[in-house]
Each structure stands twice: as structure tokens, then as C-alpha cells.
């Protein structure tokens, strides 16, 4: 049984070791930064919010023994209070009736279109046999929270994944594009981009679209591609109905997935049902992600449940206990 | 013993030149890309020139075909073409090489980037193009004669030309004759060979170019390295021509060809050597002239002719040998247009 809940200060050590094992944009690697993130997340869950701003919501997944096995992060508004930069992959049709030619050319245009959209960082899980299941539950839990807290998040969701890098950790896309404009290394640019002030980017980014066919092969090859460690997240986002073709990261060319909140599979397939606690095994139960529709006490649990004839969601008492719900409470559920 | 240098005269093309001009185009083997290899095309070029002279051509089509003729054998050994206004019918495209600075104080970063902007800036300009010499006529100053003849012709009909004159230089080619710029830029948009594109361009089918051209500005530093290296560079065979055009008042004003990124040279008519430094003088025949080398134009309209020769100028007269006057089809007392070989 897997439970997802808001991160707490007490999770610091567990999260630090997770971050150390799995470098990702979800969890900062420094203890100090991680502590600040936990504080910001605490504040976000506690704050009265009218609109999506700079809040960050950190969720952790814990196993039956309450050990942290994964985490994910939701940023309420990408780029807030500034702009979020991405490249929109534009299609240009080059056609000539006279030459009998009609082909598509792609060009990357700097875009602020994703600014202010709720941003999902990729779920990360401790390596192991259950990693994929944990990542999936984390993403579904994040989407369930977003669905229930509509004022805190936006109708459009984005989910960038880190772009591919070569064996030395350098990004072929950065070498071909960004370095021409910034004159700093990829690592330095990444460091600066993750900092708060991104206004420097506006001054340095290419204002004109960049023709993809003119980029070196190595840069074209990594466009919209993510690293091995995030292939699971790539597949999950695709399954959820996120599109990964339209936007790429300005630094490393990684995919920036996009979806309408209402159309993400976990959101539109979800059902809101009264809970019925069924002692003993629940006949015909399937694996389901249940969540309790709370904010500060948000809980999501991955476990067996079944929709019974009366329209109730039947599940075991220990799941209900984890959800902190009692009989007849409304529960959000998404079956696998 | 070396053969004596050949003597040439430059004159306007006439109807009876159609066979000889077609042969010249065939000899050029594609180098005269604006003049397709066909009798019909040659006929059309000559007719355009004749109708222009008669004031019957529209602004969009007006142009003149000047031929280099061997004085003794009457062989047509070269040509040059003047178009009075480019781009008035089909758009004329080039890339303007612009510059953008990307700078950030907090990053202490300062980058100066060249950008290629697709442009029609040169629309309406006059153009000097299709300069060609047969192999047997090269290295004798005949190219200079054609260039100066074109300038003197412009001076003689200045009102028909635009205030700005351009001349395209060939861009760099690799050992196989392919353009690195085309291979790494244009080809990716056209997906047909450069030769094929130029053949279609020559046939006047330029509309397709506009449809297939990359329309967004392109950062030079983002282009493949081979292409970056040749932007605004000159093909080795055109280095001498580039120097001569510069001496005649042309400058590189950051426009380059869309196919090979070769330079487009530009001159203001008023600064053009053949316009600014040429003088109208009365012919005075005189044997044994001890003077300097001049480019001399005589005759008007269809009889316009230009030669290079020795002459001596006074305030209003040009003393010149009777043989040269005959070559110009002029007589003593006629007005000549003379341009000193050296300023």
C-alpha cells in the first residue's frame, strides 16, 4: 500500500538521500535548498490562495512502513512572477506547385505561452521493482490534488522533462543553440535558470525562430528527447494524454509536455463517490488511486477498491484510515 | 612569337546576333545563368534590348545586352547585361546581413550575432550582370572594357536607370563546384539541386523560390560551420572582378545572394567611376597621339560603341587616331564620352 501526502520537515533526510541518488529538477540536491523547498511547500499548503502564484507543493510517497520512496513537485504558476521561456515547435509548410514540392519545416520560436501555467516536475522514485508504480501514483496524486484545488492551479498544465545529455554531461542542444547566445556553459546556465531571477534570459535569448533542419545532427537528435532516468515519466505523461511535440526546453531541448487539466486522463476518468468501508477482502477489487479531496491533509492511497452496485466505492478499513476518511465521506478515485 | 593582342569593341546586341549570342551562351555552359541556352531565349534578350532602346519596354523589363566583338574577326567573344530595374515583376530576394547584440550585465555576457534577413531591399535597383568572356578573350582587359562600357552606357542614358546599381559576385564553391552555403542551408529547404533551382530561376520561374525560402531571419552562428565560413565571401575566380568593382565605386553593403551567400556589390550611380569621371569631349582626329589610355564611347542609340585606346584630352577635345574613330563609327567633331583608364 502506497500513500501520497504533503511533505513534512521530518522528511528532510529521506528526501535528501532521494535527491542524492536521483538528480532531478524535482528535488534540489543541496540540503539548504531542500529545507527551503520544504518550508515553501508547507507555506503553500497552509496559505489562503485566490489564484495560482509562486506556490510550490511537494508531495511524497511513503510505503506501508511509512518510509519515503518517492516525491513529486507542483509549481502553481510557471515562471511566476516573471515569464516562463520555452521554444514552440512551429510547423512551416514549404510548398511549391511548380516544383511539386510540399514538405514541413520545423522552427523553434521563443515563447512565453506557458507562463503562469501550473507546472508538474517529474515524479521521482527510489530505484527498485516498484519505481514505475510509485511514479505513476505520484503523478496521479498530483493531478488529483490539482483537480480538487481548482483555484490554486490553472486549467493548463505543463510538465517539462530534462533533455538528453552526452556522456560528459553536456547538452548537444545547448552547445548548438544556447551557448551561442549566452556564452556560458550548460551547467552554469542551468544553475542560473533554476535561480529566482530569470529576467536575464530575456535579454539573451534568440528573438528569431531557429530552423530545426539547420541545427547540427546531434542537436536535432536530442530535440524533444529526455534522459533514460525520465523515460518512465515520459511514458506516464503520454498515457495521461499530455502532448510532448509542441514545446521544448530552451536550454537542453527536452520535451515540455502540455495538457488541459480537464483532459488529463486522471482528471477526466476520475469519479467522486461516497466511501463504504468493507471489512475483509473486497470482491472483484481493482487497483485504484483514491484521494481524500483535502488540502493540508491531502492523502492519496494506491490500493484495491471496487465500485459497488449502489454507487459506493468499497475499500478496506486500512485504506480508509490512511485516507483519514470514514464511511460515506466523498472520495476521488481513478482506476488503473 | 606572341600573337598581337586582339582588338575589341563593345556594342549593343542586334537582331542578326541571335545565332552568335546563342553560341556564346552555349560556350558559357551555365555560367550565364540568366540567359537560357536557346535561340528563343537569345532572341527575347535581344528584342528586349532593342525595344528598350526604342522606349517601348516597361520599367519592369527594360534592359540592355552589350556584346564584345572582335574588331578583325567579328567574333562575339563576350557579353554583359544591364537591367534597369530589378524585382518589379518577380520579387528580387537577397539576405541582408544584420547584427544583433545579446548582452546581459548580471551575466557579464556580450554576444554580437550576425543575422541573415530575407529581404527585397534591392527592389527597383539597376543591375549589372551576366559578364562573360570566351576563353580566348580573357586576360586582355576585355572584362574591364565590358565593365566600363556598361558604365558609360549608363551615363549616356542615366535617366533610365535607378539611383543604385548592384552587381552580384559568385560565392565560394568547394572543389566539386558545389556551394557550401547551398548544400548546408538552401538544400534543406528546397530539396532539389542548386543547378535545378538556377535553371528554373533562369526560366523566369522565380515564384517558387519565394514559396520555399526560409522567411525567418537566420542567426549566422547557428548555421552549419561550412555555411558560416562563406557568408559574404567571394569565389576565387571573382576576386579580380571584386577589386575592379570596388575601384569603380562599388561597396559591399551587407547584402548576400540567397543561394551561395556571395556578395552583392552596390554603387550609387553618382559615385560610379564611369558616371562621375567620364567626360563629354569633341573628337579631333590626330595621327601619332602621345597620350594615355582611355575608355572611349561614341555613337548614340543603336550605334553606341565603346573601345579602349590611346588618346589625349584637352579641356573640351579628345585627340584620337582616325583608325580608332572609325572603330567607334565616329567622325571628327562628334561628341565622345571618355573615361580615363586611371583616375
pLDDT tens across B80-130, in order? Answer: 999 999 999 888 889 999 998 888 777 777 888 999 999 999 999 999 999
Residue A20 corresponds to which cell in the numbers above?
Answer: 542524492
Q: Highest mean pLDDT: which of A101-105, B134-138, B189-193?
A: B134-138
What are the 10-residue block averages of pLDDT along chain A, 336 residues in total?
96 96 91 95 94 96 95 95 90 76 87 94 92 96 97 97 91 91 77 62 82 93 95 96 94 96 96 92 86 97 92 94 95 93
H or E element in which residue A203 lies: helix A199-204
Question: Rounded to two decimals, what is the model's pTM?
Answer: 0.84
Nearest to B212 among A96, A107, A211 (CB): A96
Under the banding of pLDDT at 50, 70 and 90, the label for residue B192 is low
Residue B282, min C-alpha distance to chain A (Å): 55
Q: In terms of CA atoms, which chain B residue is nearest residue A174?
A: B222
CB-based contact B102 A181, cutoff 8 Å: yes
B244 to chain A, minimum CA–CA distance in Å? 35
pLDDT score, position B210: 59
The reported pLDDT for the residue numbered B194 is 63
Of A183, A207, A211, the CB nearest to B214: A211
Of the residues B35, B129, B235, B273, only one is catalytic, namely: B235
B106, B111, B222 member nearest A214 (Cβ): B222
The pLDDT, as a whole number, for residue A17 is 94
Q: Do A176 and B222 touch (CB under 8 A)?
A: yes
Whole-angstrom Cα distance, residue B62 to residue A51? 66
Is the CB of B222 less than 8 angstroms away from the CB of A215?
yes
Quote the minimal CA–CA distance from A187 to chain B in Å.
14
pLDDT, residue B110, reads 84
pLDDT of residue B162: 97
**In contact, B156 and B66? CB cutoff 8 Å:** no
pLDDT the model gives residue B200:
67
Chain B nearest CA to A303, separation (Å): 50
Q: What is the reported pLDDT for B277?
A: 95
Look at residue B139 in the predicted model and tell me its pLDDT: 86
- A73-87, B187-201, B286-300, range with the lowest pLDDT: B187-201
> B206 falls in which pLDDT band (50, 70, 90)?
low
Among B259, B186, B94, B194, which Cα is nearest to A213's? Answer: B186
Q: What are phi and psi of A82, to 5 degrees?
A: -95, -150
CA distance A55 to A74: 8
Residues ≥6 apart with Cβ < 8 Å to A242: A157, A159, A257, A258, A259, A264
Which of B245, B280, B53 lies closest to B155, judged by CA? B280
The interface predicted TM-score of the complex, written ipTM, equals 0.77
Which of B218, B222, B227 should we substitute to test contact with A (largest number of A Cβ atoms within 10 Å)?
Answer: B222
Q: Which residue has the higher pLDDT, B83 or B342?
A: B83
Is residue B102 part of the annotated active site? The answer reads: no
Residue B203's pLDDT is: 61
Please say whether the beta carbons of B126 and B87 come within 8 A: no
Q: For the range A228-236, what are the long-range contacts, defined as Cβ-Cβ under 8 Å and sequence gap of 24 or more?
A: A229/A22, A229/A24, A230/A24, A230/A122, A230/A161, A230/A162, A232/A131, A232/A132, A232/A135, A233/A122, A233/A123, A233/A135, A233/A139, A233/A159, A233/A161, A234/A161, A236/A123, A236/A135, A236/A136, A236/A139
Q: What is residue A64's DSSP assignment? A: T
pLDDT at residue B201 is higher than 70: no
Contact A94 B189 (CB under 8 A): yes
pLDDT digits (tens, 9 = 90+) for B237-290: 999 999 999 999 999 999 999 889 999 999 999 999 999 999 999 999 988 778
Residue contact B107–A206, C-beta within 8 A: no
Residues 6+ apart with CB under 8 A from B321: B285, B286, B287, B288, B289, B309, B310
CB contact under 8 A, B223 and A213: no
Amino acid at each position: 500500500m502506497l500513500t501520497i501526502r504533503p511533505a513534512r520537515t521530518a522528511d528532510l533526510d529521506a528526501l535528501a538521500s532521494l535527491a542524492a541518488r536521483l538528480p532531478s529538477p524535482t528535488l534540489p540536491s543541496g540540503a539548504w535548498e531542500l529545507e527551503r523547498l520544504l518550508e515553501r511547500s508547507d507555506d503553500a499548503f497552509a496559505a489562503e490562495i485566490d489564484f495560482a502564484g509562486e506556490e510550490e507543493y511537494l508531495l511524497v510517497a511513503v510505503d506501508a512502513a511509512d518510509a519515503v520512496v518517492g516525491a513529486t513537485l507542483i509549481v502553481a504558476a510557471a515562471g511566476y512572477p516573471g515569464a516562463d521561456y520555452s521554444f514552440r515547435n512551429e510547423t512551416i509548410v514549404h510548398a511549391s506547385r511548380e516544383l511539386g514540392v510540399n514538405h514541413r519545416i520545423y522552427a523553434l520560436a521563443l515563447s512565453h505561452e506557458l507562463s503562469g501555467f501550473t507546472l508538474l516536475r517529474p515524479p521521482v522514485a527510489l530505484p527498485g521493482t516498484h519505481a514505475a508504480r510509485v511514479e505513476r501514483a505520484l503523478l496521479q496524486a498530483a493531478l488529483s490534488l490539482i483537480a480538487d484545488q481548482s483555484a490554486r492551479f490553472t486549467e493548463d498544465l505543463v510538465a517539462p522533462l530534462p533533455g538528453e545529455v552526452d556522456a560528459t554531461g553536456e547538452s548537444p542542444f545547448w552547445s548548438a543553440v544556447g551557448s551561442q547566445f549566452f556564452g556560458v556553459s550548460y551547467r552554469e546556465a542551468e544553475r542560473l535558470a533554476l535561480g529566482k531571477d530569470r529576467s536575464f534570459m530575456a535579454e539573451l535569448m534568440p528573438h528569431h525562430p531557429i530552423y530545426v533542419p539547420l541545427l547540427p545532427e546531434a542537436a536535432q537528435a536530442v530535440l524533444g528527447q529526455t534522459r533514460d532516468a525520465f523515460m518512465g515519466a515520459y511514458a506516464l505523461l503520454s498515457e495521461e494524454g499530455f502532448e510532448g511535440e509542441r514545446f521544448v526546453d530552451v536550454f537542453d531541448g527536452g520535451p515540455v509536455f502540455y495538457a488541459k487539466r480537464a483532459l488529463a486522463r486522471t482528471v477526466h476518468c476520475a469519479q467522486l463517490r461516497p466511501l463504504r468501508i468493507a471489512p475483509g477482502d473486497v470482491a472483484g477489487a481493482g487497483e485504484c488511486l483514491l484521494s481524500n479531496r483535502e488540502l493540508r491533509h491531502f492523502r492519496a492511497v494506491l490500493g484495491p477498491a471496487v465500485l459497488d452496485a449502489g454507487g459506493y466505492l468499497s475499500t478496506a478499513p486500512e485504506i480508509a484510515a490512511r485516507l483519514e476518511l470514514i464511511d460515506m465521506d466523498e472520495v476521488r478515485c481513478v482506476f488503473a | 612569337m606572341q600573337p598581337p593582342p586582339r582588338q575589341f569593341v563593345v556594342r549593343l546586341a542586334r537582331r542578326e546576333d541571335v545565332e552568335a549570342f546563342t553560341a556564346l551562351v552555349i560556350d558559357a555552359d551555365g555560367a550565364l545563368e540568366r540567359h537560357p541556352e536557346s535561340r528563343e531565349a537569345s532572341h527575347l534578350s535581344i528584342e528586349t534590348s532593342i525595344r528598350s532602346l526604342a522606349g517601348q519596354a516597361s520599367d519592369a523589363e527594360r534592359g540592355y545586352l552589350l556584346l564584345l566583338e572582335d574588331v578583325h574577326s567579328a567574333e562575339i567573344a563576350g557579353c554583359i547585361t544591364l537591367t534597369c530595374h530589378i524585382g518589379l515583376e518577380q520579387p528580387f530576394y537577397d539576405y541582408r546581413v544584420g547584427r544583433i547584440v545579446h548582452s546581459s550585465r548580471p551575466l557579464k555576457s556580450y554576444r554580437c550575432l550576425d543575422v541573415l534577413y530575407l529581404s527585397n531591399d534591392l527592389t527597383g535597383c539597376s543591375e549589372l550582370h551576366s559578364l562573360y568572356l570566351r576563353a580566348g578573350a580573357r586576360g586582355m582587359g576585355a572584362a574591364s572594357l565590358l565593365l566600363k562600357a556598361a558604365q558609360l552606357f549608363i551615363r549616356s542614358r542615366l535617366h533610365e536607370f535607378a539611383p543604385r546599381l548592384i552587381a552580384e559576385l559568385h560565392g565560394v564553391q568547394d572543389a566539386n563546384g558545389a556551394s557550401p552555403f547551398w548544400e548546408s542551408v538552401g538544400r534543406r529547404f528546397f530539396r532539389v539541386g542548386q543547378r535545378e533551382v538556377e535553371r528554373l530561376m533562369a526560366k523566369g520561374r522565380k515564384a517558387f523560390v519565394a514559396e520555399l525560402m526560409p522567411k525567418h531571419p537566420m542567426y549566422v552562428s547557428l548555421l552549419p560551420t561550412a555555411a558560416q565560413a562563406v557568408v559574404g565571401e567571394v569565389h576565387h575566380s571573382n576576386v579580380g572582378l571584386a577589386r575592379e568593382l570596388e575601384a569603380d565605386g562599388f561597396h559591399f553593403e551587407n547584402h548576400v545572394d540567397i543561394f551561395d551567400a556571395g556578395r552583392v556589390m552596390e554603387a550609387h550611380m553618382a559615385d560610379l567611376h564611369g558616371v562621375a569621371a567620364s567626360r563629354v569631349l569633341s573628337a579631333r582626329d590626330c595621327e601619332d597621339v602621345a597620350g594615355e589610355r582611355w575608355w572611349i564611347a561614341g555613337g548614340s542609340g543603336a550605334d553606341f560603341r565603346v573601345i579602349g585606346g590611346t588618346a589625349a584630352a584637352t579641356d573640351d577635345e579628345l585627340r584620337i587616331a582616325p583608325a580608332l574613330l572609325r572603330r567607334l563609327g565616329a567622325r571628327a567633331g562628334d561628341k565622345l564620352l571618355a573615361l580615363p583608364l586611371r583616375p
